[in-house]
Structure 1
Amino acid sequence: MSDVAAFSVISPALARQQASPTPGQVPASVRAPRKDALRCTACSMRSICMPQGLTPEELQRIESLICPSRTIKQGEAIYRANDSFQNIYAVRVGSFKTVVMHRDGRDQVTGFHLAGDSLGLDGVCSGHHSCDAVALEDSKVCIIPFHLLETMCREVKVVQQHVHRMMGGEIVRESSQMMLLGTMSAEQRVATFLLNLSDRLRMRGYSPGEFHLRMTREEIGSYLGVKLETVSRMLSKFQRDGLLDTHGKDIRILDHEGLVRV
C-alpha cells in the first residue's frame, strides 16, 4: 500500500507538534481527492505495494486517503518502539532498517525494507510498535491511517486481500529469518542475504547483478547474527572464489549459481 501523511506521520520523538484528530473523526484532507493528492498511477512501485484489480473508482478512493509523501532524513525514524500505532507505511523512495533493543541495551537489526515494502504492521497486534524504523538514506514514505484502511477493507475485497497478503508476507519473512539464524553457517547466511537482496532488486526493475549496499557491514552482521568481521571475511572469500566483485559497498555478482551452491 502506498502513501499518506496524516496525523502522526512521524515518530512522536520527531513530530510531537503534530496534533492527532479526534478519534473516529476523518480529516477533511482524506475525505475526497485533493489537488495535491499523490497519484498512485504515476508511482513506479505501484505493482508492488498496490492491490491489483481495482476499478478506477476504487483506485481514486485509495488515492483520496493519501497525502503528499514525507521525506525522512538518513538516521531519522518513522516511529520508535512503544509509539502508538496509527498508520501503516510504504517506502516510496529509499530504504529503512527495523531495529529492536535487547534487555542488555544491544540493538539488533530485524529487517531491511526497500521501495515498495510496507512498515508498521508490527503495531497491529498490541496497538504499539515493537521496533524502531530508521532510514538508511534520505527516503520518502507513504502513510495511510490504519482505521481508514480498515474501513475500506470491509467494503473492497481486493484491498482486504492485499492487506492479508502483506501480513502473511511478514510471517513468511520472520520465519525465513529464524531459519537463516538457526540452521545456516555464516557463509550461507551472507550468501543468502546477497541472493535475497538481488531478487528483491530484480522485482523492482533494478539490476540484480550489480548494486550498492545502503546498509553497513555492521548492520548486515546484526541482521545475520554474525560479527562485522565475519561479514567482511565472507565477502572477501566470495571475491577470492570468483563469486563476487566487491569495492566497498558496491557489489557485482559474477557467479549467481555459485552463490546458490554455497
Structure 2
Amino acid sequence: MFGVKGDDIVLKMPVGTIISDAETGEVLHELLQPGEQVTIAKGGDGGFGNMHYKSSTNRAPRQKTPGWPGEKRSLKLELKVLADVGLLGMPNAGKSTLIAAISNARPKIADYPFTTLHPNLGVVRVGPEKSFVVADVPGLIEGASEGAGLGHQFLRHLQRTRLLLHMLDVAPFDEGVDPVAQAKAIVAELKKFDQKLHEKPRWLVLNKLDMVPAEEREARVKDIVKRLKYKGPVFEISALTREGCELLVQKVYQHIAQVHQSQQAPVEVDPRFTQTP
C-alpha cells in the first residue's frame, strides 16, 4: 500500500569494487570514487491499490491495477585495490619492510615466507600535497598463475597500478638460491596471468644491500643486471636501514606525476568563447 515510500536497499562496497553480471560476465560498473552511488537493480512498480480510487462517492472501491516485479540479478563482486605502485617479488624479498619504511603502513614482518597473507596499502608522502599509494601483495613463486602459493589470488590487485617495483633479495640466506632465476620466474608468471600486466613499467629494486660487503656490491649488482638483460631503471637499497629509499621514493613520485598528467583528458573549449587575433 505504501511501497512508494519504501527505503532503498543500499549495499556499501569498498572503492575499487568491480560489479559484474554473474551469468553473462558483463561489467556493470566500477566504483572508483569515494561516495559514488549506482543503481544495480530497480525496484518494482506496485501499481494502484484501492485507496487510489477512494472518493466521496466511492468510499469502498474495489478497483486496482497490477504492479510489475522489480529487477533480479546475480552479481559477482571483485575488489581490485587502487594503488599507484605495486611491489612485486618472491616471499622474503623485503616488500613489507620497504612499505613500512616509506609509508604509513605497518604490515607484519617476519623472517619466514608468506608472512604477508593479504594486500597492504600504504600512503607515501613526498611533500605537502604530494603523495602516492603503494600496494604490497603476498610474494609470488613459480607456478603462481596456475594457483601455486598465495600470490595468484592477489595478482589482479596489481592490474590498476601505474608502476611495478620488482624487488630482488641480493643476499638470500639459502645457499644455491639465484635471484636472477627467481626474477625470471616471476616475469614469466606475470606474462601467463595477464599480458597487459606484464607490459606495465617495471623497475628493478635490489634490496638487502646491507647484507653485502661494500667492496662486493658493485660487482654483484652489475652481474644481476647483466644476466637479466635488464635495460630499465635500477635502484640499490636496503629497506631495513632505509639506504637508497629516499631516492627511490622521489623517482617513483616523479614518474607517477608524469603518468597522471599525461592521462588527464584535455579540456574542451566551447568555440563560441574562443578568440582569434
Q: Indicate the structure with greater helix content.
A: 1
Q: Please tell me whether Structure 1 or Structure 2 has the larger radius of gyration of its CA atoms.
A: 2
Same fold (TM over 0.5): no
TM-score for the superposition, normalised by structure 1: 0.29
Which structure has more relative contact order (CA 8 Å, sep 6+)? It is: 1
TM-score for the superposition, normalised by structure 2: 0.28
